[in-house]
Amino acid sequence: MTSEDRDPTTVEAEGSRSSASQRGHMPLWQETVLLLAGALVLAIVIKALFVQAFYIPSESMEPGLVKNDRILVEKPSYWLGGEPQRGDVVVFKDPGGWLGPEDVSEATNPVTRLLTKVGLYPSGGHLVKRVIGTPGDVVECCDDQGRLMVNGKPIDESAYARPNDVGCAPGTAGKCFGPMPGVKHWKTPPVPKGMLFVMGDNRAHSADSSYHLCTANETDCTDSPWVSAGLVVGKVMAVVWPAGKVRFEHRPDSFDPVPAP
């Protein structure tokens, strides 16, 4: 059959398919650009809504989380009215004056800065602490065994916290889980609504809520120990670097016996 004998409709349809095929073939560089753009958008969405990478900025969370450990923080736990719970390790923005200039400096490498912005590289400028008190709770240091008390209930934190080497009661030197050095005893007012009381696990080396708490002997103190729940970015879910320390993080059960405020 010659081309003259073929159905004109068939010839036209085949020509249309050929043209569509030619139009549908995209140069490699365009495909690469589209793939990179799609990956960038996906990374931004994941960072904004689901998971973000950070690094531990100091020794304040030792022994569990060591300076420069890379961590992943998940955000869905606090969606739809979810709130941080006692025992959660959270990442939060500076409530005001808790970070020094060296802690908020950004990377100078433009590639690193871009990767940080989209969540593909761990970012700094945040704090990592453990939630000790939630709205209504009263936190006190300490009982006669050096344990923190929340709503009058002593908390056994020996599984994850490093005690202060300064005693908070007679006979508690080296096993006091409460104060920063030089502060023997303190008690908070009830944690305000929408606020949190947080502490680092390395109790002798953490400028946390207990450090910013105005004690009875301070007459001109203007510090505030509270962290707004609105500043919380998310909950630490895993350590991803160094390779030998990769693990998931879970809320300890040590706070389970604490009564309601």
How far apart, in whole angstroms, are the C-alpha atoms of residue 71 and residue 65?
A: 9
SS3 call for 191? coil
Given 47, 75, 123, 129, the catalytic residue: 129
How far CA 222 is from CA of 29, 96, 206, in Å, comes to 59, 12, 19
Pairing of strands 89-93, 232-241: antiparallel
Q: How far apart are the first and last CA of the chain?
A: 92
Q: Is the peptide bond before 242 cis (omega within 30 degrees of 0)?
A: yes
**What residues contact residue 23 under an 8 Å CB cut-off, 6+ apart?**
none
Query: 175 catalytic, yes or no?
Result: no
CA dihedral 110, 113, 114, 118 (to 10 degrees): 180
Beta carbons of 243 and 146 less than 8 angstroms apart: no
Q: What is the DSSP string of 70-85?
A: EEEEE-GGGSTT----
Query: 210 catalytic, yes or no?
Result: no
What token pair was written down for 123?
């970012």
How far apart, in whole angstroms, are the C-alpha atoms of residue 213 and residue 26?
A: 62
Q: Dihedral of CA 84/86/89/95: which sign? A: positive
Given 58, 60, 123, 254, the catalytic residue: 60
Nearest-CA neighbor of 237 among 224, 251, 227, 226? 251
Any idea which residues carry the catalytic annotation?
A: 60, 129
